[in-house]
Structure 1
C-alpha cells in the first residue's frame, strides 16, 4: 500500500472517531431526514435492489438478509447482526458498520470504497471482486480477508487484494 493511501486511511479514521465521540449539532439536525430502522420496522428479509442511501440500522437482527444490488451509500449499521447476509453487487460506498457481525457475508463484487468497518467481525466472508479502496479496517480484518481475497470489481475495476493492501 502506498504511503499516501495509508495517510488517507488514517485521516478518515481520525475523522470518524471525532464524529462518533463529539457529534456536532449540524449532524444531529440533519439526521431527521435519514431513514432509521429498528426492531419493529425490520421485518423484511429481502432488500435486494432497494435504494437505502443513508439508511440507519441500529441493534437489529438481519441474519441472512439480502441486500443484493442495493444502494447502501452512506448507510450505517450500528451493532447489527448481519451474519450470512448477501451484499453481492451492493454499493456500500461511504458506509459505516460499527460493532456489527459480518461473519460469512457475501460481499462478491460489492463496492465498499471509503467504508468504515470499525470493530466489526468479518471472518469467513467472501470478498471476491469486492472494492475496499480507502476503506477503514483493522489490521486483523485485513490480514484475515487477504487469505481468500481475489478478483477485480466489475464496476470500479479495482483489484480486491490491492484495494485491501494485501501483501504480494
Structure 2
C-alpha cells in the first residue's frame, strides 16, 4: 500500500463519516427561497424537513402534494391554502390559521393541531390520529368556500 493508501486508511479510521439524506438535501434547497411572507405562492410538492415555518404567512398558498416532516408551523397563517394530498408527519400546527384551507387526502399522522383555527377547513379523506380528530371535531364549524363541504362532515364528526 502506497503513502496515499495509508493516508486514506488513516482518514477513514479517525474521521467521522457525515452524510445527508436526499430528502434533507432537497429540503435545504427548497428552504433557501422561503421568506416569512409567502402569501399566494406556488409551493406544490415542496419538501420541508424539520423546517421552522412558525408564524409564516402561507395564506392562499398552493401546497398540493407538499411534504412536511417534523416541521414547525405553529402560528402559521394557512388561511385559504390548498394542502390537498399533503403529507405532514409529526408536524406542529398548534395555533395555526387553517380557516378555509383544503386538506383533502392529507396524511397528517402524529401531527398536532391544538388551538388551530379550522372554521371552514376541508379535511375530507385526511388521515389523522384519532385523538386529534376528536379534538378537531369539538371545535369544527363552517363550510369550506371552495369545496362546499362542512368541516364537521369532512372530519366525520359524530
TM class by smaller structure: 0.7 to 0.9
Residue 8 of structure 1 is matched in structure 2 by: none
1:141 aligns with 2:102: no
Q: In 2, distance between residues paired with 1:70 and 1:145?
A: 22
Poorly superposed stretches of 4+, deviation over 6 Å: none
Residue 74 (structure 1) shift: 0.1
Greater radius of gyration (CA): 2
Does the 8 Å contact 1:42/1:60 carry over to 2? Answer: no
Q: In 1, distance between residues paired with 2:104 and 2:34?
A: 28
TM-score by length of 2: 0.80
Change in Cα spacing, 1:76 to 1:135, as seen in structure 2 (3 Å) is same
Change in Cα spacing, 1:37 to 1:51, as seen in structure 2 (3 Å) is farther
Change in Cα spacing, 1:133 to 1:116, as seen in structure 2 (3 Å) is same
Structure 1 residue ranges without an equivalent (≥5): 1-30
Residue 12 of structure 2 is matched in structure 1 by: none
TM-score by length of 1: 0.76
Q: CA RMSD in A?
A: 1.9
For residues 100-119 of structure 1, the aligned pairs below 5 Å read 100-119=91-110
Q: In 2, distance between residues paired with 1:141 and 1:43?
A: 28
Count of residues paired in the alignment: 135
Q: Deviations over 1:15-65 (max 9, x none)?
A: xxxxxxxxxxxxxxxx89xx6346962651011100001000111211101
Does the 8 Å contact 1:110/1:130 carry over to 2? Answer: yes
Structure 2 residue ranges without an equivalent (≥5): 1-21
Change in Cα spacing, 1:37 to 1:87, as seen in structure 2 (3 Å) is farther
* Higher alpha-carbon deviation: 98-107 or 36-45: 36-45
